[in-house]
Amino acid sequence: MKESVKIGIIICDRYRRCAGGKCFRAMKKREGAFNNYDKDIDLEIVGYTTCDGCPGGNIEYAGDEMVKNGAQVIHLATGLVVGYPPCPYIDTFKRFLENRFGIKVVLGTHPIPQKYVDNHEKLGTWKSDGWQEIIRSTWADEKTRKDYN
């Protein structure tokens, strides 16, 4: 039997109508934060929902539901990083989910689209070491970033 990993994805509530296309494409192609999964491993989505808006009222419930559905990893979607302003609670969400549920939490899903890179570079949003660490797993080459615009 082929090895599999069950994944939950939590998106920013600003994008609550998002159908997940970029996240699912990146998962299938192993791009962005999904680049760290071996291509021979099946990835299965067991939950996809929003944080329910600031300050993240759905984080506890979503994490609980995802873990009950077998999630081994929860991804905090790229939208939490690229929206403006970026999510001020992203570190809190990560720490809470890891500590409460004993689960690995990954920052990001699909590669950061180039249009967001251009804007955040002008604004200086991601200059700190902390933000550099947050965007690391979703950074890609310029061609890939443009493909996700």
Q: What percent of the chain has pLDDT over 70?
A: 99
Q: Give the number of domains in the chain.
A: 1
Which residues constitute the domain of residue 32? 4-147
* Count of C-beta atoms within a 10 Å radius of residue 85: 8
Angle made by CA atoms 84, 25, 97, in degrees to the nearest 5: 60
The predicted pLDDT at position 50 comes to: 97
Report the C-alpha gap between 103 and 130 in whole angstroms. Answer: 21
Q: Contact at 8 Å (CB) between 93 and 59?
A: yes
Does the pLDDT at position 40 exceed 80? Answer: yes
Flag whether pLDDT at 1 surpasses 70: no
Rounded to 10 deg, the angle between the 90-101 and 59-68 helix axes is 40
Q: Return mean pLDDT, the chain.
A: 96
Instruction: Look up residue 12 and give its two tokens.
Output: 């920013």
Per-residue pLDDT, 139: 96
| 123, pLDDT greater than 80 | yes
Please give the DSSP secondary-structure letter assigned to residue 36. Answer: G
Neighbour count for residue 90 (Cβ, 10 Å): 21
105 neighbors 76 (Cβ within 8 angstroms): yes
Bridge partners (DSSP) listed for residue 45: 7
Q: Is the pLDDT of residue 10 over 90?
A: yes
The pLDDT of residue 73 is: 98
Distance CA 24, CA 35 (A): 13
How far is residue 33's CA from residue 101's CA, in Å, rounded to a whole number? 21
Any idea what the CATH number is for the domain that residue 115 is in? 3.40.50
Read off the pLDDT band of 46 (50, 70, 90).
Answer: very high
pLDDT tens digits, 50-86: 999 999 999 999 999 999 999 999 999 999 999 999 9
Task: Indicate the burial class of 116 (C-beta count within 10 angstroms; 0-12, 13-18, 19 or more).
Answer: buried
pLDDT-derived band at 2, boundaries 50, 70, 90: confident
Least confident of 8-12, 93-97, 122-126: 122-126
